């Protein structure tokens, strides 16, 4: 059985890749096919996420064992076959290729083709340039918020000691001088 994936990017509008791969291939085989199709280096951490229909992450398939807790199912690309986790057309996946900035490619299992086998993944459509593999942190569009701290933040700069409520200071000791003192 074959799986045909459509791959797009939210960073580059005219980027499309289509990869057909055997359902018995591993996620590592798919990972390598994607990297080859976009000409990325193979020395970076990456993960696949099986997603729900709204792109919510459900299961992660990592390149290497990340030592996750035993309560969670742990999937490693090399040890996990595509057919183990994928069974429906229109299944959505994220391929996170840049962990530091959480950049990803969006994937959809477009077609399941029964009764056929494929020894090596096959690149079908290849349209547009992929997003850059690495982005400098200073090039990221970081939204910053500045807070102006002034009189409005602290309140009125002029206050009247007569406005202070002496009852709020009860119990602090008998040696407190009255606020009527000329020093104030």
Q: Which residues contact 125 (CB under 8 A, 6 or more apart)?
A: 16, 17, 18
Residue 38: its H or E element: helix 27-38
Measure the CA–CA gap between 10 and 17, rounded to whole angstroms.
13
The edge-to-edge listing of strands for the beta sheet with 122-127 is: 75-76, 57-62, 47-51, 92-98, 103-113, 2-9, 16-22, 122-127
For the beta carbon of residue 180, count every other beta carbon within 10 angstroms: 9
Considering only residues 33 and 99, tell me which one the structure prediction assigns the higher pLDDT: 33
Query: pLDDT for 118-169, tens place per residue?
Result: 999 999 999 999 999 988 766 555 444 555 555 555 555 565 666 666 666 6
Measure the CA–CA gap between 102 and 104, rounded to whole angstroms.
6
Give φ, ψ of 158 to 5 degrees: -105, 130
Measure the CA–CA gap between 152 and 79, rounded to whole angstroms.
60
pLDDT (mean) for 43-71? 87
pTM of the model: 0.72
Measure the CA–CA gap between 68 and 149, rounded to whole angstroms.
43
Nearest CA among 9, 6, 24, 18 for reference residue 117? 24
**What pLDDT is stored for residue 89 in this prediction?**
96
Q: Has residue 173 got a pLDDT over 70?
A: no
For the beta carbon of residue 76, count every other beta carbon within 10 angstroms: 15
> Biggest alpha carbon distance in the chain?
97
Q: Has residue 171 got a pLDDT over 70?
A: no
Query: pLDDT for 58-108, tens place per residue?
Result: 999 999 887 765 566 789 999 999 999 999 999 999 999 998 888 999 999
């Amino acid at each position: 059985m074959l799986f045909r994936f459509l791959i797009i990017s939210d960073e580059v509008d005219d980027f499309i890749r289509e990869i057909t791969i055997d359902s018995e291939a591993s996620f590592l085989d798919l990972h390598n096919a994607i990297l080859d199709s976009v000409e990325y280096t193979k020395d970076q951490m990456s993960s696949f996420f099986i997603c729900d229909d709204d792109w919510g992450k459900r299961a992660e398939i990592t390149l290497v064992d990340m030592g996750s807790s035993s309560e969670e199912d742990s999937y490693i690309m090399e040890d996990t076959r595509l057919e183990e986790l994928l069974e429906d057309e229109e299944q959505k996946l994220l391929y996170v290729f840049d962990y530091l900035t959480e950049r990803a490619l969006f994937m959809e299992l477009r077609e399941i083709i029964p009764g056929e086998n494929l020894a090596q993944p096959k690149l079908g459509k290849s349209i547009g340039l992929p997003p850059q593999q690495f982005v400098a942190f200073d090039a990221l569009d970081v939204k910053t918020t500045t807070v102006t701290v002034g009189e409005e933040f602290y309140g009125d700069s002029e206050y009247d000691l007569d406005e202070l409520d002496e009852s709020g200071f009860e119990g602090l000791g008998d040696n407190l001088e009255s606020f009527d003192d000329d020093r104030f």
